[in-house]
A and B are shown apart, each in its own frame.
Chain A
Amino acid sequence: MIGMLAAAFRRGVFSIGILAIFVLFVGPVAILVLTSVRPASGAYYIWRGTAFTLHNFVDVMQQSQVVKAMFNSFVLSSLATIFSLGITVGSGYMLSRFSGWIQRSWFATIYIFRTVPYISWVLPLYLVNTRLGIYDTYIGLLLPHIAVHVCFFSWLMKGFFDGINPSMEHAALIDGCTRWGAFYRVALPSAMPGIAALAILCWLSTWNEFLFALILTGQRTPMITSTMAQFVTETGTEWNLMSATAVIAMLPALLVTIFGQKYVIRGLRM
């Protein structure tokens, strides 16, 4: 009898613990979502009152700056993903399959430059971009976004190819495939699952990126994160509109969390 009670008690504590974890991670998001569907008058006491509205979203979507920012972030994230993966897949393959002083020094380079804090090269990049006349343009933000991924992605790509047995490529070479063909037809398809996971993470991280957007763009090419930051720091009183913008900006993240979690987990494990 006492044993059963103890077991029930333990199970109760366990369930409460699980519930607490759940609330801890969903709570802040729920508060934000709830605020976004309250009218301006109800935003300050969101646990009181029952007035709900979608008007905040309509309001936000009517601001051309927000719509433009979302479009810019979308285009930029997609381009950055394609280019970063495109240029790091080769570098990772080389690191994995060949060895020599070039590979060793390249590996040391990407390791060292990964430790450099972003601000240390984005700050002077502001001068470089202004000098080149690409400040506040797509290209001025796209190229640094590709550069930021070079180091880490080369490292991860090396990991993908390390996990693939090279004997398949050797077989392809013997069968008359060129070195390039062995890479393109044999190694690349086997690395595809990892690359797909990396693509999703890369897209999200570019969409979420803030420091580059803050320093390298202005009014002409707004990004969603820098637009939001402007809201918070300058007009930080209209919390209902703030939250609506944040919820819209959060949509890709929510979609990926619900439908693409397999890829996120695989991507993070690397």
Chain B
Amino acid sequence: MLLLIAPAAVVLVCFQIIPILVGMNASFRDWSLVNPLKTWVGLSQYVAVFTDPVFLKIVLPNTFILMVSSVSVSLVLGLGLASLLNKSFFGRPLVRTVILLPLTIAPVITATMIRWSFNDQFGVITTFLAYLGLPEVAWLSDRWPSFTLVILTDIWIWAPWFTIILLAALQGLPPEQFEAAKIDAATPWRTFIHVTLPMLRPVITVCVLIRSIDAFRTFDQVYILTGGGPARSTEVFSVYVYVQAFVNLDFGRGAAAAGAGAIIMLLVGVGLYRLVNRTMVRSR
């Protein structure tokens, strides 16, 4: 019986747990990739990370802004789309197919096409917005426009994920309560708020938790879309670690940042686990 988990456990230990330990070891040392002295420097790499103004004033806020805005907007849009797709209308199969595109296309490709569509000079969307007479925005050369674009890309990718899962949940709801609401002449909006939402709550909770954990490690879209620029102003946690280790070639500093992120996420993860368990018990 132990044989059943042995292969999975061995792979997990060798390629996830051991690297984490190696990384922790490196994070306490002076480990430049050009000239790895590997001398023990104690906690000074961590101190350097937590006193780095880029990390404190840009990376951490960016990461959490991305996490909160992407998850909340995707959730709301997903709920809307799911309720829409729960009705039958002409073209529903087509809409249900096209919303799968963001989920199957690689984030690298998505970011590439968004970058091209919002190109300052030749982008189709930039030109279209100018044609509509809107003020021109240099999408990829200022902090907030480029970061907005990162968030919008993330929403484009993840709103369909919420839609698919919430649609499945909606279709699985028992019809009796909706019939009762109809007999009581409740408006569609009130039915949604007082009947649908409470019944969807467990699913929503789980979705939000999974997405929040994953949003913390967003890398692909940011790396391709802005590369963390202009001037490091759109870096998020994963990009910061990558830049420290492979651009500044300071592996020790990168490992310390990675370790700090892992610890933050472990704490958040344990907290969320408790929360999920409690919600599950209550909804049963």
Whether chains A and B associate is yes
Residues on A facing B (Cβ under 8 Å): 14, 18, 21-22, 24-29, 31-32, 35, 44-47, 86-88, 90-91, 93-94, 98, 102, 106, 109-128, 143-144, 146-148, 150-151, 154, 179, 204, 207-211, 214-215, 225, 228-229, 232-233, 239, 242-243, 246, 249-250, 252-254, 256-258, 261, 264-265, 268-269
**Which residue of the partner chain, among B11, B105, B115, B268, contacts A250 with CB atoms under 8 Å?**
B105
Size of B's binding interface in residues, CB under 8 A: 85
Is A119 touching B106 in the complex (CB atoms < 8 A)?
Answer: no
A sample of 24 inter-chain contacts (CB < 8 A) reads: A25-B98, A28-B156, A32-B109, A35-B116, A88-B8, A90-B3, A113-B12, A117-B237, A117-B261, A117-B262, A117-B265, A121-B16, A123-B241, A124-B20, A124-B258, A128-B15, A147-B12, A150-B16, A232-B115, A242-B112, A250-B105, A261-B97, A264-B100, A265-B164
Residue of B96, B116, B156 ringed by the most chain A CB atoms within 10 A: B116
Is B103 touching A25 in the complex (CB atoms < 8 A)?
Answer: no
The answer to whether the Cβ of B266 comes within 8 Å of any Cβ in the partner chain is yes
Is A211 touching B12 in the complex (CB atoms < 8 A)?
Answer: no
Among residues 113 to 139 in chain B, which have CB atoms less than 8 Å away from a CB atom of chain A?
A: 113-117, 119, 121-122, 124, 127
Is A91 touching B8 in the complex (CB atoms < 8 A)?
Answer: yes
**Which residue of the partner chain, among A115, A116, A117, A204, contacts B104 with CB atoms under 8 Å?**
A204
Cα-based distance from A125 to B272 in the complex (angstroms): 27
The answer to whether the Cβ of B26 comes within 8 Å of any Cβ in the partner chain is yes
Is A87 touching B8 in the complex (CB atoms < 8 A)?
Answer: yes
**Which residue of the partner chain, among A118, A120, A261, contacts B23 with CB atoms under 8 Å?**
A120
**Which residue of the partner chain, among B1, B16, B224, contacts A98 with CB atoms under 8 Å?**
B1
Is B113 touching A246 in the complex (CB atoms < 8 A)?
Answer: yes
Known A-B contacts A117-B265, A246-B113; the reply to A269 vs B12 at CB < 8 A is no
Is A257 touching B97 in the complex (CB atoms < 8 A)?
Answer: yes
**Which residue of the partner chain, among B7, B113, B254, contacts A31 with CB atoms under 8 Å?**
B113
Is B269 touching A22 in the complex (CB atoms < 8 A)?
Answer: no
Which of these binds chain A: B42-50, B51-59, B185-193, B214-222?
B214-222
Q: Please name all residues of chain A whose beta carbon is closer than 8 Å to the beta carbon of B266 when the two chains form the complex.
A: 112, 115-116
Residues on B facing A (Cβ under 8 Å): 1-5, 7-9, 11-12, 14-20, 22-23, 26, 81, 89, 91, 94-110, 112-117, 119, 121-122, 124, 127, 156, 160-161, 164-165, 168, 213, 216-217, 219-220, 223-224, 227, 237-238, 241-242, 245-246, 251, 254-255, 258-259, 261-262, 265-266, 268-270, 272-273
**Which residue of the partner chain, among B104, B113, B251, B270, contacts A264 with CB atoms under 8 Å?**
B104
Is A207 touching B106 in the complex (CB atoms < 8 A)?
Answer: yes
Cα-based distance from A211 to B251 in the complex (angstroms): 17
Q: Please name all residues of chain B whose beta carbon is closer than 8 Å to the beta carbon of A93 when the two chains form the complex.
A: 4
Is A228 touching B108 in the complex (CB atoms < 8 A)?
Answer: yes
A contact face: mostly helix, strand, loop, or mixed = helix
A-B interface, 10 closest residue pairs, ranked by CB to CB distance from nearest = A115-B269, A124-B23, A208-B106, A90-B4, A147-B15, A253-B104, A117-B217, A120-B262, A87-B7, A120-B258
In the assembled complex, the CB of A167 is this many whole angstroms from the nearest CB of chain B, namely: 20
Cα-based distance from A46 to B123 in the complex (angstroms): 9
Nearest chain-B residue to A226 (Cβ)?
B108
In the assembled complex, the CB of B256 is this many whole angstroms from the nearest CB of chain A, namely: 11
Known A-B contacts A264-B100, A269-B165; the reply to A249 vs B106 at CB < 8 A is yes
Q: Please name all residues of chain A whose beta carbon is closer than 8 Å to the beta carbon of B237 when the two chains form the complex.
A: 117, 119
Nearest chain-B residue to A35 (Cβ)?
B116
Is B105 touching A31 in the complex (CB atoms < 8 A)?
Answer: no
Is B97 touching A211 in the complex (CB atoms < 8 A)?
Answer: no
In the assembled complex, the CB of B109 is this many whole angstroms from the nearest CB of chain A, namely: 5
In the assembled complex, the CB of B177 is this many whole angstroms from the nearest CB of chain A, namely: 22
**Which residue of the partner chain, among B11, B12, B251, B269, contacts A109 with CB atoms under 8 Å?**
B12
Cα-based distance from A144 to B8 in the complex (angstroms): 12
Q: Please name all residues of chain A whose beta carbon is closer than 8 Å to the beta carbon of B113 when the two chains form the complex.
A: 28-29, 31-32, 243, 246
Cα-based distance from A148 to B108 in the complex (angstroms): 19
Is A121 touching B217 in the complex (CB atoms < 8 A)?
Answer: no
In the assembled complex, the CB of A243 is this many whole angstroms from the nearest CB of chain B, namely: 7
Nearest chain-B residue to A14 (Cβ)?
B89
In the assembled complex, the CB of B57 is this many whole angstroms from the nearest CB of chain A, namely: 20
Is A123 touching B12 in the complex (CB atoms < 8 A)?
Answer: no
**Which residue of the partner chain, among B110, B254, B258, B270, contacts A112 with CB atoms under 8 Å?**
B270
Cα-based distance from A126 to B255 in the complex (angstroms): 11
Q: A117-B238, A232-B115 are in contact. List 15 more A-B contacts (CB 8 A).
A: A18-B89, A27-B117, A31-B113, A90-B7, A102-B5, A106-B5, A111-B269, A111-B273, A115-B268, A116-B16, A117-B258, A210-B108, A214-B223, A228-B108, A257-B104
Q: Please name all residues of chain A whose beta carbon is closer than 8 Å to the beta carbon of B12 when the two chains form the complex.
A: 109-110, 113, 147, 150-151
Is B20 touching A269 in the complex (CB atoms < 8 A)?
Answer: no
Known A-B contacts A125-B19, A211-B220, A239-B116; the reply to A119 vs B241 at CB < 8 A is yes
Cα-based distance from A128 to B14 in the complex (angstroms): 10
Known A-B contacts A115-B268, A117-B237, A269-B168; the reply to A228 vs B8 at CB < 8 A is no
Is A26 touching B224 in the complex (CB atoms < 8 A)?
Answer: no
Is B19 touching A121 in the complex (CB atoms < 8 A)?
Answer: yes
